[in-house]
Amino acid sequence: MKQQLMEMLAERKDEMIQIRRHLHENPELSFKEETTAQYILDFYKGKDVEVQSNVGNGYGIVVTIRGGKPGKTIALRADFDALPIFEETGLPFKSKNEGVMHACAHDGHTAYLLVLADCLIQLKDEIPGTIKIIHQHAEEVPPGGAKSIVESGTLDDVENIFGIHLLPTDPAGFVGYHSGYSMAGRSYLKLRIQGVGGHGSSPHKANDAIVAGAYFVTAVQTIISRRLNPFDMGVITIGSFDGKGTFNVIRDHVELEGDIRYMSDETKEIIGQELRRIADGIGAEFGVQCELTFTPDYPPLYNDPEMTELVRKSLEGADDPDIKKVTEYPMMSPSDDFAYYLEKIPGCYFYIGCTPKGVEQPYFNHHPKFDIDEDALIVAAKAVGCVVCGYYGM
């Protein structure tokens, strides 16, 4: 069956590219993907599958392919939301929705999985089990779509789950994997500092919120350097410092927002505790009021070692010209709400190289000039197809 599946996918490579380009031209933001969801639903019309729409807290879709033989139930997932980015690629199929862009390859994820799912539907009589195809909304914006799909109960019968992400770290043909903790968890930080405003000539009559905020920006980096175990991963980035005012007026309040990454729940708790301690100390030292918000978004992503080994073996034994190299990747600091699936269901999330041809230093995901080598679509489809066949022993 594997050989037959690979041949079917190869014949539909151009279709994957056409789907990807259509989706790229028509991106929609998280929780607003109504047209994209309808496009996906239309793709499955008339096919011998069960389709559930509006799964979870948005436009999630779950397609159930029941094999002709009894066996285990697995799930495959692709996300389909875009980002609030003005596209600068200059592609002939660039976004028609100004200020919205598929800058994280979710268009490619959806394109490969639609075609792979259709091929599996055609071969379903040979499949010894059930495959659930998850087309997930809202990966980019917390609380995301994955957690709500898990909580919906739709996947309660799923025993293992797999997914991929296109990354421009390697050329098309490269497939990467990592066992255990593989991607960082993420939390959101917001701090409002309320001081006392005043005239720039008389700072002694005010409590300067900007000075207090500047101290906070510096102090929080000591959490990483002096409070975490040196072998634990942690990052605190203050990405927004809203202190705009007039040059000779002491600002009475500022707001800061930040992004926090970590590779374990223990590290998350330490960072949260230390942030509160520093905020309380700044309040006392500068005579200001500090209102701290610390909101965990996505948990660290943990790849089950057994399922990761299955992925490695399946891909190394693929014997396919499109899968050129299978390699172990290091842990990565980006986050993905696929982690919610893996908290409940053992599985593996792995990576497909997509560096555009002729580019030595590609733009990374979320950049306005981000693009992919569309040959990566067939690699993704074949790689996940090989994993399915390896899982079922086909």
User: pLDDT tens-digit profile of 3-54?
Assistant: 999 999 999 999 999 999 999 999 999 999 999 999 999 999 999 999 999 9
Euclidean distance between CA atoms 301 and 183, whole angstroms: 5
Tell me: the pLDDT tens digits for 281-296?
999 999 999 999 999 9
Task: State the pLDDT confidence band at 212, using cuts at 50, 70 and 90.
Answer: very high
Query: What pLDDT band is residue 316 in, cutting at 50, 70 and 90?
Result: very high
Q: Which of 33, 79, 107, 139 is catalytic?
A: 139
Tokens of 19: 């789907």
The catalytic residue among 79, 81, 208, 373 is: 81
Q: State yes or no: is 81 an active-site residue.
A: yes
Tokens of 386: 């090989």
Q: Would you call 302 helix, strand, or coil by DSSP?
A: strand
- Please report the DSSP string for 214-232 in residue order: HHHHHHTHHHHHHTS-TTS
For residue 233, the cross-strand partners are none
For 357, counting Cβ atoms within 10 Å of its Cβ (0-12 exposed, 13-18 middle, 19+ buried), the class is exposed
Mean pLDDT of the chain: 97
pLDDT > 70 fraction of the chain, expressed in percent and rounded: 100
- Chain Cα centroid distance, residue 57: 17
| Overall pTM > 0.75 | yes
Task: Round to whole Å and give the CA distance between 264 and 255.
Answer: 28
**Active site (annotated) includes residue 139:** yes
Q: Are 63 and 44 in contact (CB under 8 A)?
A: yes
Domains of the chain by range and CATH? 2-182+300-392 (3.40.630.10), 185-296 (3.30.70.360)
